[in-house]
Amino acid sequence: MLAVIIIYTLIALGYLVLCFVVVRVAMKKAQAKGLPKWKYGIPAALFMYMTVFWDYIPTEVAYLYYCNKDAGFFVYKSLDEWVAENPGIAEKQDYTGKIQLSREGHRGRISRYYMSERFDFTSEYEPIFAGVVRNNQKFIDKFDQSILSEYIDYQSGGVILKGIIEIPKPWQVNGRCFGNKPNIGREFNSFRDNFRILGKVNKWER
C-alpha cells in the first residue's frame, strides 16, 4: 500500500511540474508575440487538465444517473408464488453451482452458473459509458427463461493512457451504488439461497 502511495505521489508531482512548465512556456510565447499571457496560458492549462481529467465529470454524472435510474434489487416472482405454481419441484432440485458459461467480449463479461435442472444464475459486467460498468445478476427459471429476481448495480473507474500504460485513476473510482446499504446486494443472495435450501444442497457456494 505504501509503495502505491509513493508511486502516485511521484506521478502527481511529475504531472504538476509538467503542467507548470507547459503553462510557463505558453505564457512566454504569448508575451513574445505581444499578447496578454493568459491568451496562451489558459488554453495550455485547460489542455493539461483535459489530458488526465477529461472524463472525470462525465463519469461522475453518468454514475449518479444510472444509480438513480435502475439500480436495485427486484423480485418478479417470490418463492411462495413460484412454489405455488410448481408444487413439489423445488424440493427435487440438486444444486451444484457449477459454472456453465463464461465469456468476454466487447460488451464485457458474462458468466452463467448451472444451479440445478431448473434454475440458472447469471452475472454480467458491461461497460456503459465513460468508465461506468453495469453489474447485472439474474436468477432464472430455465423452464420458460423467466427472471425470478434481478440485482442491478454500477461501478466506475478509469485509466490513463488506456492500452499503453493504463495507470488507474483513483479519483474516479466509485464503488457500488448502495455502498452505504450493503444489505441490498445480500437480499439477492438470500433470495437465491431460499430456493437452494429447499432442494438437496451439494456444492453451491456464494
pLDDT for residue 101: 63
Residue type, position 125, single letter: Y
Strand partners, 156: 132, 174
Contact indicator for 134, 125 with CB cutoff of 8 Å? yes
Q: What are phi and psi of 18, to 5 degrees?
A: -65, -40
Q: What share of the chain is helix, strand, coil (3-state, %, to 5)?
A: 45, 30, 30
127 and 183 within one domain: yes
77 and 49 within one domain: no
pLDDT for residue 196: 73
80 within some domain: yes
* Residues of the chain predicted below pLDDT 50: 201-206
- If one counts the domains in the chain, the total is 2
148 and 108 within one domain: yes
pLDDT for residue 18: 92
pLDDT for residue 204: 42
pLDDT for residue 4: 64
87 and 45 within one domain: no
183 and 84 within one domain: yes
76 and 45 within one domain: no
29 and 100 within one domain: no
166 and 121 within one domain: yes
191 and 134 within one domain: yes
84 and 157 within one domain: yes
Structure-block grid coordinates of residue 126: 458491461
Domain that holds residue 115: 72-201
**Beta strand pairing call for 98-105 and 108-114:** antiparallel
19 and 105 within one domain: no
pLDDT for residue 83: 85
27 within some domain: yes
pLDDT for residue 96: 63
For 6, which DSSP code? H
64 within some domain: no
